[in-house]
A = this chain, B = another copy of it.
Amino acid sequence: MTLGDDSPGDDALDDSADDERLGRSGAYSKGVARRQEILNRAIDVFAERGADGASLRSIARALGVSHAALLHYFDSREQLLVAVYDHANRQRPPAPDATALSSLTDAAEHNTSVPGLVELYTTLVATSLKEDSATAREYFTARFARLREDLAARLRQEQADGLVRADCDPDQVAALLIAASDGLQVQWLLDPSLPLARSLGALGGLLAPPR
């Protein structure tokens, strides 16, 4: 277990923080290339064969390596999947000057456009709730906290600018926005006929200041 000898300087997270973060990135050039390859192929396998079909052996087969090779780059399947999700998200750099709502709508649009992404996200959130979840829990708590902070700041600004009604707490609304976006994506995946964007838009209407 990674419990007995959690060596000082947990190298799974804090090395080469500028580019990639989860799991060992290779020291040799072949290694870093493989790592990218894994991340890229894994999302495909996930999209094609679903969460259950994306076993370590299945992903490894798609790459022509053994499943042990994957565990050389990532401590666990969980960590691999988190890295895949993280990787998929870094493909879409966030627009810094977007509205709180529009940034969420954009993200939702992106998620629903990449096959398998919402399923991956939901799967990972579910595993992050398990008590013994190692990587996922840490990752998503941090992600939610960061997102809430970011959105709350945006909302405060928009309140000051008169774009958002003033009689609501930005912190609560930030949590609310994220929750609504996540929940709607799930509902949409179960029933794609739902107008995801429009529902989020309705929330925008509720946030607009009274005229």
Contacts and interface: CB of A to CB of B under 8 A. Distances in A.
Interface in A83-136: 118-119, 122-123, 125-126, 128-132
Interface in A154-195: 165, 167-169, 172-173, 175-176, 178-184, 186-187, 189-191, 194-195
A1 interface: no
A59 B43 CA distance: 33
Given A184-B176, A202-B168, A190 B131 contact: no
A32 interface: no
Interface residues of A, number: 51
A201 B167 CA distance: 13
Interface stretch (A22-30, A34-42, A60-68, A137-145): A137-145
Nearest to A119: B129
A126 B128 contact: no
Given A183-B182, A183-B183, A187-B175, A125 B128 contact: no
Nearest 3 A/B pairs, CB to CB: A179-B183, A172-B202, A126-B126
